[in-house]
A and B are shown apart, each in its own frame.
Chain A
Amino acid sequence: MASRSLIRNFCIIAHIDHGKSTLADRLLESAGAVSQRDMRDQVLDTMDLERERGITIKAQAVRLDYEASDGRLYVLNLIDTPGHVDFSYEVSRSLAACEGAVLLVDANQGVQAQTVANAYLAVEAGLEIIPVVNKIDLPSAEPERAAEELARVVGGDAADTIFISAKTGEGVDELTERIVEVIPPPAGDEDLPLSALIFDSYYDLYRGVVCYVRVMEGSIAAGERVMFMATGEKRDAAEIGVLTPGSVPMETLAAGEVGYLITGAKEIDRVRVGDTVTSAYRPAAVPLRGYTDPRPMVFAGIFPTDGDEYPRLREALEKLQLNDASLQIAPEFSQALGFGFRCGFLGLLHMEIVRERLEREYDLDLVTTSPSVAYRVTLPGDEPVEVRSPADFPAAGREMVVEEPWIKALVLVPPEHLGAVMEILTSRRGELGPLNYLGTERVELTCRLPLAEVVFDFYDQLKSKTRGFASLDYEADGYQPSDLVKVDLLLNGSAVDAFSAVIHRPRAYAYGREMVTRLKDLIPRQLFDVPIQAAIGSRVISRETIRAKRKDVLAKCYGGDVTRKKKLLARQKEGKRRMKMVGSVEVPSQAFVAALRVRD
């Protein structure tokens, strides 16, 4: 057991690609935790997808033994934080396990919105902040400017900034010394009843749920009976230990220490991030503060292109859920797309990651419907109902109150793109807040807007209109009433549920028009004329017609090539299998994907 005064618990806050994982690698190296030979780049990112996207999805913790210049051996617990807006709850739990944070910024790109948002979280959590500018080896680097911006964000002095290159190792020793020097050792009383914070967990095929814990008070011993306070689940601490980064079992973990806990639990939703682990026999009086249930904000239907793949999709989603308590799934049936699942995600990136993993790791061909948010609909005399799918949204014309979720967004943008950003935000019903200049190069803009306006192609538009220079962070900001209608798309007179969308009324016509035009191009001609209509309730707001196909025949068929023509027809027939029958209209699965794709 380490002496508490020699423990430093800290995390690194950084934007995607600002070099967090590379810095972690360097720290591990300098502590000798990983030999050069075993060193894979970016040890902390374990999933392939993380490695490829350069983002960290699940937080982890590594213990480093570091001999400081004062000659003493310190225990540094580096707690990795997820690097995206969708995972702000997980970030807040990681922060709660630390006493300090390294605020890392790319010397070239400067401060990004999400760095600011997480830095504010860290300040609120009372963490000691060490501002660090990375990538000073890059020829285009502007370290002083980045340092100036950092100082404005955390309210310090730019002179305190440490300049490093995680790539070459320059400045990393100075940083390590600073960590030991300024981050306070953890508080806590080993004699109090156990309370340990679960700041992350994952599912291991052989060992069940592995949780990462920070012991706040008391201590936990191997074999002890423990209780998870939010769920009431009681289990034995089958194994406890630390990661260096390989797992090293320990007899006890005491207040201030960070490690892992394995209880043999198989269901990850019984062991939730943010929950408090306590002793089953001598429980803490109150759980640690800050726990909330994982709450999805974005919903979308996921369907297999080939209906026969439904069981495989279910199996794959269930497997993903083992590792992801925030992914919610519920079976859904669509007349157009067949059997699938309505899934709830923390945000758009979360949705994208789930979809990509399903397609890549489980080799599934999927149709994903437009993402939507959870509306709160109140019919006269009824309780409010949460509506997560446009299909369940009441038909137009009924008297009702609809509320939609709003968010508070923070955008960082260079002043020359400020106009474009304001235009995007106001065109999406944004209520602009005050501007705050971070130096001359960057403006911080706050804005309230409906979440629904963000889930639909917002990022892409923001990126393209600011040439990639704007960054965004957001948090939920309650519900408020809104004038929303359901727009249905009808093919040959029957509504295609997968295309229905809930739209702000003034935009309904434009939306209907656009979808009708798109579908006309995407749906192949049939044996008969097919009208495509957009409608609000029974009122048609836009219409096009796909003219009947006139010719579909091979000109020639003679003895020479019966086999070849037959193969050609058989191939085309296979193509037909990838068609979905909507009423009597054949719609290629690709049309669903393309029609629902975000627009420019």
Chain B
Amino acid sequence: MHIPFCEEVCPYCDFAVVAGRDQLASRYGQALVAEIRSAEEWGPLEAVNFGGGTPSRMPAGLLERILGELSSRFGLREGAEVSLEANPEDWTLQKAESLAAAGFNRVSLGAQSFDAEVLSYLGRRHTPTQIVGAVAAARQAGFASVNLDLIMGSPSESAASWTETLRMALEANPDHLSTYSLTVEPGTILWRTVRAGASPPDPDRQAECWDEADRECARSGLVRYEVSNAARPGHPCRYNLSVWGQGEYLGFGNGAHSFRDGRRWENLRGLERYLDTVEAGRSPNRRFELIEGWAAETERVLLGIRRRAGVRAGRAGEALWESPRGRELHRAGVIGLHGDRLVVDRPLLTDEVSRAILAIPPPESAGLGNIPVPGG
């Protein structure tokens, strides 16, 4: 469930977000409801994720109503993960309590850093203290799972600062910790600054941050289960795991993606166009793609290798293993074959592996691969 509204657009963000358009929130809520009602039969749902944007900016009543609509349209499985993203500065005890009452059981807090200077560089408006308060509020409201998102290796961050951020984050005792390297995405404010001569993030420095996070999380009982994610046993994010396991999902809202029955599509990205289209009773779904045959097989491996447990090698994994590039990757200690599972032993080099998989020529009998489907 995509919620595009933000107070301000962060300099590194390239999601489908808007700032200063909160007055559209209730129209947007209506549109989401309409989109949910016109979706095909499906369910019951195992995980629900409200992402953004900043879902926590929406009135609790609106989020509750949308969740209610999802639940009545598709049904929620017993014990389903119902998660939302929140900014620490929005996350009051009152909001936490009403959302817990509405059925949310997991919150992902955009902490990013515990260093005021780094937060300011990242364009965030909260203080380190507010993060600690937000975690406490979530606990008090009864959230079963609390995640902190951290961004590492920004040019404004020293090694000592990252060490301190990690320490404070782990001290807040979250059930889940995401540690993302700052990336410069085309078109963002950060991208323009870097293009104008500001220093970009240093990948070697980020590798050091990653090593440190991996070590410190393990010491605190958080097990890294994906390149950028660690969790206490029982707390890995089910929604994300489903994506990496080539599971199916439906996305609602502007710019949201869906994957079902081997088809992937995305919604109109512009907020206004999305609203106008849905309000006119038309489908906002666009850019259908059929993922089948060899394309589906390589995608299975591409997604799966992000997990620490790796992926069943299958045809694509075996083809990689036997290719010259695969042998080099193995020799360099990047990949390993453990039983029938292909595992990336140097997760920071996962994209080397991904490119090698994409470079494997499709076998003759593998079907036609990726075909755009006109109109769905």
Residues B240 and A562 in contact, CB atoms below 8 Å apart? no
Q: Does A39 contact B (CB under 8 A)?
A: no
Residues A553 and B348 in contact, CB atoms below 8 Å apart? yes
> From residue 535 to 581 of chain A, which have CB atoms closer than 8 A to chain B?
549-563, 566, 569-570, 572-573, 576-577
Using A555-B181, A559-B243, A563-B289 as known contacts, say yes or no to A569 and B228 having CB atoms under 8 A apart. no
CB distance from A24 to the nearest CB of B (A): 49
What separation, in Å, do the CA atoms of A523 and B273 have in the docked complex?
Answer: 46
Using A557-B303, A584-B328 as known contacts, say yes or no to A576 and B355 having CB atoms under 8 A apart. yes
The interface-forming segment of B126-134, B161-169, B253-261 is B253-261
8 tightest A-B contacts by CB? Answer: A527-B332, A550-B207, A551-B207, A555-B180, A553-B350, A551-B348, A573-B355, A559-B243
CB-CB < 8 A to B266: which residues of A?
563
Q: Does A333 contact B (CB under 8 A)?
A: no
What separation, in Å, do the CA atoms of A573 and B351 have in the docked complex?
Answer: 10
Q: Does B244 contact A (CB under 8 A)?
A: yes
Residues B303 and A562 in contact, CB atoms below 8 Å apart? yes
CB distance from B103 to the nearest CB of A (A): 21
CB-CB < 8 A to B354: which residues of A?
569
Q: Which residues of B contact A (CB under 8 A)?
A: 2, 15, 51, 180-183, 203-204, 206-207, 210, 227-228, 239-240, 243-244, 249, 251, 255-257, 259, 264, 266, 287, 289, 299, 302-303, 306, 328-329, 332, 334, 347-352, 354-355, 358-359
CB within 8 A of A562: which of B15, B299, B329?
B299
CB distance from A471 to the nearest CB of B (A): 40
CB within 8 A of B206: which of A551, A566, A569?
A551
A-B contact count (CB 8 A): 97
Residues A555 and B183 in contact, CB atoms below 8 Å apart? yes
CB-CB < 8 A to A576: which residues of B?
355, 359
CB-CB < 8 A to A362: which residues of B?
none
Residue from A549, A550, A559, A562 with most neighbouring chain B CB atoms (10 Å): A559
CB within 8 A of B204: which of A550, A556, A560?
A550
Q: Does A528 contact B (CB under 8 A)?
A: yes
CB within 8 A of B355: which of A550, A557, A569?
A569
CB distance from A575 to the nearest CB of B (A): 9
What separation, in Å, do the CA atoms of A576 and B355 have in the docked complex?
Answer: 9
Using A550-B207, A551-B210, A573-B355 as known contacts, say yes or no to A557 and B264 having CB atoms under 8 A apart. no
CB distance from A491 to the nearest CB of B (A): 15
CB distance from B198 to the nearest CB of A (A): 19
Residues B351 and A553 in contact, CB atoms below 8 Å apart? yes
What separation, in Å, do the CA atoms of A550 and B299 have in the docked complex?
Answer: 24
CB-CB < 8 A to B251: which residues of A?
559-560
Residues B227 and A553 in contact, CB atoms below 8 Å apart? yes
Residues A557 and B204 in contact, CB atoms below 8 Å apart? no
**Subset of 30 A-B contacts with CB under 8 Å:** A527-B334, A527-B349, A527-B352, A528-B332, A549-B203, A551-B206, A552-B203, A552-B348, A552-B351, A553-B181, A553-B347, A555-B180, A555-B181, A555-B182, A555-B228, A556-B180, A558-B240, A559-B243, A559-B249, A560-B255, A560-B256, A562-B243, A562-B259, A563-B264, A566-B302, A566-B358, A569-B302, A569-B358, A572-B355, A577-B359
What separation, in Å, do the CA atoms of A501 and B275 have in the docked complex?
Answer: 66
Q: Which residues of A contact B (CB under 8 A)?
A: 527-528, 549-563, 566, 569-570, 572-573, 576-577, 584
CB within 8 A of A559: which of B15, B259, B289, B302?
B259
What separation, in Å, do the CA atoms of A18 and B203 have in the docked complex?
Answer: 54
CB within 8 A of A561: which of B180, B240, B257, B287?
B257
CB distance from A561 to the nearest CB of B (A): 7
What separation, in Å, do the CA atoms of A553 and B353 have in the docked complex?
Answer: 9
What separation, in Å, do the CA atoms of A520 and B123 have in the docked complex?
Answer: 36
Residue of A nearest to B229 (CB): A556
Residues A562 and B183 in contact, CB atoms below 8 Å apart? no
CB-CB < 8 A to B257: which residues of A?
559-563
What separation, in Å, do the CA atoms of A549 and B348 have in the docked complex?
Answer: 9
Residues A551 and B204 in contact, CB atoms below 8 Å apart? yes
CB distance from A526 to the nearest CB of B (A): 8
CB distance from A404 to the nearest CB of B (A): 41
CB distance from A339 to the nearest CB of B (A): 20
What separation, in Å, do the CA atoms of A517 and B7 have in the docked complex?
Answer: 49
What separation, in Å, do the CA atoms of A561 and B257 have in the docked complex?
Answer: 7
What separation, in Å, do the CA atoms of A558 and B227 have in the docked complex?
Answer: 12
CB-CB < 8 A to B51: which residues of A?
560
What separation, in Å, do the CA atoms of A546 and B15 have in the docked complex?
Answer: 36
CB within 8 A of B349: which of A553, A566, A577?
A553
Residues A552 and B302 in contact, CB atoms below 8 Å apart? no
CB-CB < 8 A to A559: which residues of B?
239, 243, 249, 251, 257, 259
Using A550-B204, A559-B257 as known contacts, say yes or no to A573 and B358 having CB atoms under 8 A apart. yes
CB-CB < 8 A to B351: which residues of A?
552-554, 569, 572
CB-CB < 8 A to A584: which residues of B?
328
What separation, in Å, do the CA atoms of A552 and B329 have in the docked complex?
Answer: 13
What separation, in Å, do the CA atoms of A506 and B266 have in the docked complex?
Answer: 65
Residues B358 and A549 in contact, CB atoms below 8 Å apart? no
CB-CB < 8 A to A558: which residues of B?
240, 243
CB-CB < 8 A to B206: which residues of A?
551
What separation, in Å, do the CA atoms of A23 and B203 have in the docked complex?
Answer: 61
Residue of A nearest to B259 (CB): A559
Residues B256 and A557 in contact, CB atoms below 8 Å apart? no
Residue of B nearest to A575 (CB): B355
CB-CB < 8 A to A527: which residues of B?
328-329, 332, 334, 349, 352
What separation, in Å, do the CA atoms of A555 and B14 have in the docked complex?
Answer: 14
Residues B306 and A570 in contact, CB atoms below 8 Å apart? no
Known contacts A551-B181, A557-B303, A559-B243, then 9 further A-B pairs from the complex at CB < 8 Å, ordered by chain A residue: A527-B334, A550-B204, A551-B206, A553-B348, A559-B251, A559-B257, A566-B302, A569-B354, A572-B355
CB-CB < 8 A to A549: which residues of B?
203, 349, 352
CB distance from B361 to the nearest CB of A (A): 12
What separation, in Å, do the CA atoms of A167 and B243 have in the docked complex?
Answer: 72
CB-CB < 8 A to B227: which residues of A?
553, 555, 557
CB distance from A566 to the nearest CB of B (A): 7
What separation, in Å, do the CA atoms of A558 and B203 have in the docked complex?
Answer: 21
Residues A554 and B349 in contact, CB atoms below 8 Å apart? no
CB-CB < 8 A to B255: which residues of A?
560
Residue of A nearest to B258 (CB): A559
Residue of A nearest to B228 (CB): A555
CB distance from B294 to the nearest CB of A (A): 13
Using A554-B351, A573-B358 as known contacts, say yes or no to A566 and B183 having CB atoms under 8 A apart. no
What separation, in Å, do the CA atoms of A570 and B355 have in the docked complex?
Answer: 7
What separation, in Å, do the CA atoms of A360 and B51 have in the docked complex?
Answer: 51
CB within 8 A of A556: which of B2, B207, B228, B355?
B228
Residues A552 and B352 in contact, CB atoms below 8 Å apart? yes
Using A551-B348, A556-B228, A562-B243 as known contacts, say yes or no to A573 and B180 having CB atoms under 8 A apart. no
What separation, in Å, do the CA atoms of A162 and B48 have in the docked complex?
Answer: 91
Residues A566 and B299 in contact, CB atoms below 8 Å apart? yes
CB-CB < 8 A to A570: which residues of B?
358
CB-CB < 8 A to B302: which residues of A?
566, 569
CB-CB < 8 A to B352: which residues of A?
527, 549, 552
Residue from B228, B259, B264, B355 with most neighbouring chain A CB atoms (10 Å): B355
Residues B259 and A550 in contact, CB atoms below 8 Å apart? no
Residues B243 and A550 in contact, CB atoms below 8 Å apart? no
